[in-house]
Amino acid sequence: MTIDDRDLLIETITREVLAAFSIGGDTCLNCGGSCAAHCADKVRDVVTNGASRIAYHGRGGDVPRDLAAYIDHTLLRPDATAADIDRLCDEAIEHGFAAVCINPTWIRRAADRVRGTDVAVASVIGFPFGAATTEVKAMETRRAIRDGAREIDMVINIGALKSGMREVVREDIARVSDACHESGALNKVIIETALLSDEEKVIACHLAREAKADYVKTSTGYASGGATVFDVALMREAVGPRMGVKASGGIRTAEDVQDMIAAGATRIGASAGVRIVTGERGAREQY
């Protein structure tokens, strides 16, 4: 069997496994025991038993040749300097990355640096723990947008989610979504998969969708783990085909990017973006 034949077989099998996923409600129709949202262990077995990727049946499954357009070129280290931010922006422009993702203090500098290009400025809210109050997150979001951010990556209230306080989490996301959408910005919701059970991941995704977020995102890069193929597939099926899914945390190679996109990711967060598209090291790589 050739490599191409093997990959085709893997994709065919996993497509059949995932074909019964629910894309909206809390229950599966015609599940047959193969839904990642409700039969997580069985689908995880498919990954651990040799599948190098999962073919999603929606729009996220087409792996593009041009990976750069999927990447948020990221630098969130607390010791990042002005020169580091300038270099990050220049690399994003040179390689055609979707956005630069930076801490709020650097938004104005980055916005000036990428002005007139197709590179967006993304920044983080409630980062990295998600424990700020909803009012502070909404205020921080509006300030970030005034300074030039066009995309917001917010961290959910993780403790509230794990306490079963769903309405608190939904309202937290909704207030940031409202602040984004009143100015035409995007809200990407970091659920921090490494700290959640599979059930909690699905609940977080449903709440983000209900709160009119634009994306769900796997990780901050500061927890014990980052993006996995399984989590991306789980999140994609939890939110359906129209909402964005951003994979971030530990993505360092072109193969990593391809696997995440095949699983359903529509955006990649990586500090190793230059290495991914050229094989060379770029600005200070972090997560």
Q: Which two tokens stand for residue 12?
A: 């065919």
CB atoms inside a 10 Å sphere around CB 101: 29
Per residue in 100-148, pLDDT tens? 999 999 999 999 999 999 999 999 999 999 999 999 999 999 999 999 9
Handedness of CA 169, 38, 34, 250 (dihedral sign): positive
pLDDT tens, position by position, 243-274? 999 999 999 999 999 999 999 999 999 998 89
Tell which residue, 56, 71, 73, 74, has the closest CA to residue 235: 56
List residues with catalytic annotation. Answer: 153, 217, 246
Stronger pLDDT, 73 or 36, i.e. the higher one: 73
- pLDDT value, residue 278: 84
Nearest CA among 237, 232, 191 for reference residue 37 = 237
How many residues comprise the chain?
287
The ranges assigned to domains in the chain are 66-278
Q: What is the mean pLDDT of residues 163-176?
A: 98
User: What is the reported pLDDT for 38?
Assistant: 57
Residue 164 and residue 223: Cα distance in Å, rounded? Answer: 21
Beta carbons within 8 Å of 177's beta carbon, 6+ residues apart: 187, 211, 212, 213, 214
pLDDT for residue 216 is more than 70: yes
Mean of all residue pLDDT scores within the chain: 84
CA distance 26 to 22: 8
pLDDT, one tens digit per residue, over 33-43 is 545 555 666 55
Please report where in the chains the tokens 């039969």 appear, as a residue. 39
**Whole-structure pTM value:** 0.79
Q: Give percent of the chain with pLDDT exceeding 70.
A: 75
- Contact at 8 Å (CB) between 249 and 222? no
Helix or strand (DSSP H, E) at 245:
strand 244-248
CATH of 66-278, one of 3.40.50.10860, 3.40.228.10, 3.20.20.70, 3.30.565.10: 3.20.20.70
